[in-house]
Amino acid sequence: MHEKQVARTYKVELWSAVAVYAVLLFGSISIGRRMDEGVLRTVVLVIPMIGFGLMIRAIARHVARIDEYQRQRLLETLALAFAITGGATFTYGFLETAGFPRLSMFTVWIIMGASWGLVSCMRNWWTR
């Protein structure tokens, strides 16, 4: 029962933070694009990071609530995903030197999320 409550609390906190992020993102883009360049525009365009900070808070609170076994599995999975992301982005950095097009830093998050999902699925499959 405790595990279900922890998972439910995490989902509510995380998806609430995602909703805040999405609202701030759309708002900042629609307002920021029309503004003249300067400090105020920069601040407006960075405002969605408030939602991102709330996501970090939700994740940290979740990690603190789960038991040691779940925490260990989660952190091992994240470590593997971060290593895969590091390897992929480093490799692409060398490819950029060879003439490949430069990619946005947002690409790193896409790779990290995909790595995290892939490692999670593989670890679940291996432990069956």
Q: 70-102: per-residue pLDDT in tens?
A: 999 999 999 999 999 999 999 999 999 999 999
Q: What are the pLDDT digits (tens) for 18-75?
A: 999 999 999 999 999 999 999 999 999 999 999 999 999 999 999 999 999 999 999 9
Write down the domain spans for the chain.
1-66, 67-128
Q: What is the pTM of this model?
A: 0.78
Question: Distance between CA 86 and CA 6 in Å, rounded?
Answer: 31
For residues 49 and 89, the answer to whether their CB atoms sit within 8 Å is no
The set of residues, in sequence order, having a beta carbon less than 8 Å from that of 59 and lying 6+ positions away, is: 14
DSSP state letter for 67: -
